[in-house]
Structure formats: C-alpha cells, structure tokens
Amino acid sequence: MRLAVVALCSAVVAGALTAAVPGAGTVARPEPPTRAGAAPDRYHPPGRAVAARTDSVVVPTYDPAVTLARAAKPLRRFTVVMAGDVLLHNTLWAQAQRDARAAGRSGYDFRPLLAGVRPTVSGADLAICHLETPLGPSQGPFTSYPIFSVPPRIAKDLAWAGYDACTTASNHTLDRGVPGVHRTLASLDAAGIAHAGSARTVREAGRIRLLDAAGAKVALLSYTYGLNGFLRPADRPWIVDLIDAGDIRADAARARRAGADVVLVALHWGNEYQSQPTEVQRELAATLLGSPDIDLVYGHHAHVVQPFERVRGKWIAYGLGNHVAEQTVVEEATHEGVMARFTFAMTAAGRWRVTGAEYLPTAVSRSQPYRLVDLTRALTSGRLPDARRSAYLRAYRHVAAAVNSLGARQDGLLPADLS
C-alpha cells in the first residue's frame, strides 16, 4: 500500500506538476508529526528523507533505521499550518443553508465547504486561519460586500475543521463597529478558537496570545494596514492593531518576556489582486525579520497568492490568498489560495528554528456546490473526472508558480508530501 501511494504521488507530481516547479532538487524534508487525536496513518513516522527520484522531482521515502535510532533521543518539534482570508460572501452562506437543509437541519452548515482541508488542518500541531469579516447576530441580518456581517456559525465549523486560532485584524474589522468586534470574539470564544488582532477591553488588547504547539509556546501577533476609512473609537484605540514596525517589534519583545518560544506575525497588507509584494511589504518584512524576537511573518488581504521568501535567514509568506471566498474580481486567481506548513525544531542551543517549509495549494470550486479543495490531496486521490483534474492541475500550477516566483524553491520550499 505504501509503495502504491508513493508511485501514485510520483506519477501525478512528475507527469503533471513538473511545469509548476521545474527542476526540483533533492532536499531532505522533515516529516510533520501527527497531532494528538489525528489519524495515525496520515504521515509516515519521522525519519531521514531518502530521495526516490522521478524524472524531475523527488518523492521522499523514509529510512526506518534512522527512525529507530532517533527513538532513543526524540527531537522536539511541531508543525504549524496557516491559511489566508476566510471571506464569506452571500453565495457561500447560501450554500451553507442548502447543505444544512440537505442534512435535515435548519440554519447554516459550513462543514461540507471546509471538509476538503480538514485532514491537513487537523493534522497540524497548530492551525491558524484569518477571519476577515465580523460575525453578525445569530439570526442576522447578514450582509456581504462591502460592509460585512456574516453568519456566526462559521466559527464553530472552523473549529470542526481543526483550526486552533484565527487572526482578526483586517480592513473589515470595524465594518459593524464595536458590537461587531464583541460578537466576533465572543463567537470564537464559544467555539474554542483563540484569536489575536482585535480586542474588547484594554486588558485583552494588552495580553499576548500564547498558543500551545506540542508543548512549545507560540505567540500570535496580528495587524492590519487600515480599516476602510473607519476610525478606531477615541476611547478604544486598542480595539484593533494597526501595522507599525516599531509597535510590532515591541510586541514581539513582550511576547518573548511572556515566555514565547516562537513568535509569529500575521499582516493584513499589500495591494489587492497583485501577485507580487510591494516594495513597502518587502521593506517591512526585512525590518521585522531583522528582529531577534520574530521567527516568521505571513500575510493576507491581496486575495491572490503571493510569493514565499527567505529574508535574513527566516521565512515570510507575503500573501496566502483567499482560503474561503467567492469573488468575481480576477475570478480564477481569487478562487485559489495556499496553506503554508512550517516545521519548527529546537536546536542544540535551545532555540526554535524552521526546519521545513511546505505549501499546499487550495481552490474554491467555481460552481455549486461550493467546496474548498486541498489540491494536493485531490490530485493524488485518483478519483477525478478528466475535466476536473485538468482544472485542478491548472490551479495547482498557478499557485506553485506564484509561491516560487522569488526563488523560494532554491531556499528549500517544497510542495507538501502526503504519501
């Protein structure tokens, strides 16, 4: 069975995806551990990556002897998965209504929409989404673009999909004012999802959000470039965090003092529908990653996938695109996204470092029923009609080209291995 899966992955990747990432070299891939409670056979046991070469790519297999040798001295490590904008449009919550009715229930059910990414999300030690829009009252009314207020059921279903935390600082955070912020955070609390980027009280705003990842303490910081013309209330300037390099570096230092082993910074930034980062983005990335307190930076807001890059020896994912959205602007690209998966391991000096960087292209189907597709899993399933396989390959190649457009492959970025 294992050989069959590797052969299938080899055929799909080598035969169909070569155009997306030509000339991939032999790179040792650290194997992500499975989070407690996840399917035990989702990944091979940790071991040394051994190159099983096809015509132009490497499909890792694992050396059991090395696995046994390591058993006596376990390596401390964890995986974190990050995704882009959860941007609910009315077409998506109409789909959730149809899915609820099909199951004999009232209200909304976003689980069928999210089910395609659940194995990847729930398999990470820590999974983080970006909830871009405020959540409305349980019975509505709900509104779509340009002033959002969306069904709060999405919080519960994001938790079902495996998300542990969501960032909430975006240009839409104040679409529904202070009540919208309160409803959003209360819904996330009720769903058991941690959050960062907006706050209900000054005390909450000042608290560093520390998350557990296989025993490591991970600080999550979240900021937005602006608020679509809305102003933070004069008596609540702390209600949402805005991007300021000095503030971010100071918050990261506070996170270290609070006990963080790893500090992640999420930025809502960049130019919409532009697949390359702006000079402002690149300069800010260099400034932030120059801080010894910041380990990794990632972004969203552009609604299209932007590149990954190593800057000052650390990773940045400039833009993860849309995770869940149904936009008609730049329609093909805005239906695509990418999940980033990073493996952190503790060095001999006791400092955590990224030892593996992977990407997993996703797409939202462009016709009903709307579904979020993990393209890597779908393309290795062997159960796709020709027309759908062709569409998924096109989306995969587009995302792969975008994430590698600044040379990330040469720096060690790899497509995720699900064999």
Task: Report the CATH number that the domain containing residue 216 is assigned in CATH.
Answer: 3.60.21.10
Q: Are residues 202 and 258 both part of a single domain? A: yes
Q: Are residues 15 and 103 both part of a single domain? A: no
Q: Are residues 237 and 331 both part of a single domain? A: yes
Count how many domains the chain has: 2
Q: Are residues 16 and 156 both part of a single domain? A: no
Q: Are residues 180 and 265 both part of a single domain? A: yes
Beta bridge partner(s), residue 168: none
Residue 312, phi-psi category: left (phi > 0), alpha (psi -120 to 50), beta (remainder): left
Rounded-to-integer distance, Cα 219 and Cα 159, Å: 19
pLDDT the model gives residue 242: 98
Classify 377 as helix, strand or coil.
helix
Query: Mean pLDDT per 10-residue run, the chain (419 residues)?
Result: 36 42 37 38 28 31 37 72 98 98 97 98 98 97 98 98 98 98 98 98 98 98 98 98 98 98 98 98 98 98 98 98 94 96 94 97 95 96 90 97 98 88
| Residue 129 belongs to domain spanning | 77-415
Q: Are residues 158 and 206 both part of a single domain? A: yes
Q: Are residues 347 and 394 both part of a single domain? A: yes
Amino acid letter at 59?
Answer: V
Domain boundary among 28, 52, 71: 71
Residue found by looking up tokens 């009232």 in the block? 106
Q: Cα angle vertex 225, ends 219, 227, to 5°?
A: 110
pLDDT the model gives residue 331: 85
Q: Are residues 82 and 147 both part of a single domain? A: yes
pLDDT the model gives residue 89: 97
pLDDT the model gives residue 35: 41
- The half-sphere exposure of 25 on its side-chain side, counting CA atoms within 13 A, is 8
Domain boundary among 71, 95, 117: 71
Q: Are residues 14 and 163 both part of a single domain? A: no
Q: Are residues 49 and 89 both part of a single domain? A: no
Q: Are residues 350 and 373 both part of a single domain? A: yes
Contacts of 53 (CB under 8 A, 6+ apart): 26, 59
Classify 93 as helix, strand or coil.
helix
Rounded-to-integer distance, Cα 90 and Cα 326, Å: 9
Residue 8, token pair as written in the block: 């299938």
pLDDT the model gives residue 419: 57
Domain boundary among 71, 97, 122: 71
Q: Are residues 202 and 230 both part of a single domain? A: yes
